[in-house]
Amino acid sequence: MAAPKPLRRRWELLAVTLLAVVAAAAAQDYGGDEEDEKKKPQYKAQESCNGVFLSYTFMERTKEYPHLKNATAQPYAFKATATVLNTMTEDLKAWQLFVGFQHKEILVSVGGAVLLDGSDFPANASGGVTFAGYPMADLLNSIETAGETSLIESKIEITGTQFGVKDPGTPMPKTIKLTNPAGFRCPAPSRKGSVMYACCVKDRKFKAKKANSTRYQARQKGDLTFAYDVLQATTNNYQVQVTIDNWSPISRLDNWNLTWEWKRGEFIYSMKGAYTLLKEGPACIYSPAAGYYKDLDFTPVQNCEKRPVIVDLPPEREKDAAVGNVPYCCKNGTLLPPTMDPSKSRAMFQMQVFKMPPDLNRTALYPPQSWKISGKLNPQYTCGQPIRVSPQEFPDPTGLLSSTPAVASWQVACNITRPKKRASKCCVSFSAFYNDSVVPCNTCACGCGGDTATCDPDARAMLLPPEALLVPFENRTAKARAWARIKHWRVPNPMPCADTCGLSINWHVINNYKSGWSARMTIFNWQDYTFKDWFAAVTMGDHYSGYENVYSFNGTRMDAPFNNTIFMQGLPGLTYLEPITDGKSAADPRVPGKQQSVISFKRKDAPNINIGKGEGFPKRVYFDGEECALPDRIPKAASAHRRAGAPSLGQLAMAAALVMAVALLDSVRL
């Protein structure tokens, strides 16, 4: 018997409803699977990584002009993406990613990071570069962020130029790795097509310092450090104090120039304790900042440059109410080693900085990036990017026991780098009593000066007679030619280029006797510049233990890490190294400023030293913290085991007269 029509309609309606619910559930499940598919890691290795997952993806490239037949010289514009993903249970602080580029890459722009060494674009990346996070320097962990990708991962967009690698080859870097000093082990990266990836894990053997109870990083050590302490903050501007500390016992800065890069449109409204070389208040009305701050008078504004150049004030402005009255300021840019004068190893200045949208709230504080500092004749520093540290505490100015923390603090650590070849600022020549020739500074030791049309930048420097060291390089040509003819040496044509160094040091081994030996160190200043409170240091190597005394300088033995090193500075009244001066007449060569001292060594503490074999010369020489270029050879005796006696005055006079005669004849021929 059939069911009544109303009842059957109800069953049909119920069946349709059930089907609709099932279909909706299925659709929802399918959509959920699709969403899960989107959340799945791009690489299987990423899913199993418990550390920091790194990847580098080559995106595309196009041939650039000029179009060349030589494939290895053909430039290509390329784009690539690198990622740093924190898959640990703890935060990754101040991440640093090294990408080992190997195809003469030149980076034109980078998004999501900055170059750790602060290089300007376009930047040469042929030997690889290290990226540092900016504006997100720290990566939080997934547990405390509910897996929010924007908080646990940084993406770096790379654009640049590379050379070679014909199609269809894919120009990939040699490696990628995490370079954080917190102890990570990174295996050799895996590669699939245009993708390279690796999982870096914490090194269990690494002994980390006691963990900080806050999210801030520990302050770093460096040869020189900057502190960027925000003292006050309002919605659109903040007051900041910058402190420079020199920690190296053998480095200094003279007339320091500090630069950085504003990344978020900031500008300096006012300064105390220092100033910018360009005070461009009126010109700021054409800047983007003037478009936002329409009612602000830009006339008194200090600087609107993206990369300002900041210098120290002179001593006479130290108590100036308008621009001075800042502790440790106003030393004309001089920073001495703390071993010489701790009060002069620190500099300080303050700024009022205005911000731009979208950073218009009290807590939106970002320090400038790419810090660089340089001096007159001083070491070269490589500075890292700013890291967030615990707020600096300042004592109460009224003398109470209380202290006031900064609103926020950052630190920048810099370390001295050895000068590259032909990029030194000073050089050394070697000579000895047992050899009548001087080994001069290397050709182009401090650069070639840009003019190599009349000289050979690749020729080895010619040996010289001793008196040639007393005259400028341009006055040595005739003496060098004459000496070569006397010695029957080939005279190169063209002649070697000059060393172009503004300061040189001669190390002369004076004698070698039974109980010891001694040397004379002479410093020559070839510049129109007076070195105040100068100092020098020499590293003697294994025979340092025999060091006895320095007689005309103030000499001191140095401790670790500068073992085997003698630190020297001028005695009271001799702390100025005078500049070069004119000769007695227009025809006479200019006379360098110079100072010298004898240094004695005992053989008792270094009995195996062989002076005749060239073991009486230093391994490294520094002047005002700059490492000087050493010559490429060492004077040696005809027989290294035979003690040579000092030449007689008659022999020296005869040799000098012969050189002068030949030099005169040579100049007449020229």
Q: What is the pLDDT of residue 31?
A: 47
Least confident residue range of 22-26, 102-106, 597-601: 22-26
Q: Alpha-carbon distance 179 to 131, whole Å? A: 10
**Higher-confidence residue: 643 or 543?**
543
The runs of H, that is alpha helices, within 420-533 are 477-486
pLDDT at 38: 45
Q: Can you tell me the mean pLDDT for 116-141?
A: 90
Q: Mean pLDDT over residues 9-15, rounded?
A: 58
Q: How confident is the model at residue 508 (pLDDT cuts 50, 70, 90)?
A: very high
Mean pLDDT of the chain: 87
Asked if 365 and 238 count as a contact pair (C-beta separation under 8 A), the reply is yes
Choose between 189 and 420: higher pLDDT: 189
Distances (CA, A) of 623 to 266, 425, 427, 448, 518: 38, 9, 9, 21, 21
Cα within 13 Å of Cα(101), Cβ side: 26
Q: What is the pLDDT of residue 522?
A: 97
Give the per-residue pLDDT at 454. Answer: 86
For position 627, what pLDDT does the model report?
A: 93
Tell me: pLDDT of 631 over 70.
Answer: yes
Taking residues 230-238, report their average pLDDT: 96
pLDDT for 14 equals: 57
CA-based angle 668:669:670, to the nearest 5?
Answer: 90
Pairing type for strands 427-432 and 503-513 reads parallel
Buried b (16+ CB within 10 A) or exposed e, 470-497: ebebeebbbbbbbbbebeeeeeeeebbb
- Cα separation, 612 vs 249, whole angstroms: 33
Place of tokens 């990622």: 83
Spell out where 460-572 has E strands. Answer: 503-513, 516-525, 531-532, 535-539, 547-550, 553-557, 565-570
Residue 229 has pLDDT above 60, yes or no: yes
Report whether the peptide linkage leading into residue 66 is cis, meaning its omega lies within 30 degrees of zero.
Answer: yes
pLDDT band at 662 (very low <50, low <70, confident <90, very high): very low
- pLDDT tens, residue by residue, 460-491: 999 999 999 999 998 898 999 999 999 999 99
655/32 Cα distance (integer angstroms): 96
Question: For 273-292, how does the pLDDT look when each residue is reduced to its tens digit (9 = 90+)?
Answer: 999 999 877 778 888 899 99
Residue 226 has pLDDT above 90, yes or no: yes
Query: Torsion angle, CA of 372/374/379/380, rounded to 10 degrees?
Result: 40
Given this model, what pLDDT does residue 561 score?
Answer: 84
Average pLDDT over residues 264-272: 95
Q: Give the per-residue pLDDT at 642.
A: 41
Nearest of 417, 444, 424 to residue 119 by alpha carbon: 417
Percentage of the residues of the chain whose pLDDT score is greater than 70: 87
- What is the Cα–Cα distance from 12 to 228, expressed in whole angstroms? 76
650 — pLDDT class (breaks 50, 70, 90): very low
Pick 143 or 39 by higher pLDDT. 143
Residues 57-97 have pLDDT tens digits of 999 999 999 999 888 899 999 999 999 999 999 999 889 99
- pTM for this predicted structure: 0.79
> How far is it, in rounded angstroms, from Cα 134 to Cα 260?
14
129: left (phi over 0), alpha (psi -120 to 50) or beta: beta
Q: Quick one: pLDDT band at residue 423, thresholds 50, 70, 90?
A: confident
Q: What is the pLDDT of residues 361-392, one digit of tens each?
A: 999 999 999 999 999 888 899 999 999 999 99
Rounded Cα–Cα distance for residues 28 and 26 (Å): 5
Residue closest to 463 by CA, chosen among 434, 433, 493, 443: 443
On the question of pLDDT at 37 being above 50, the answer is: no
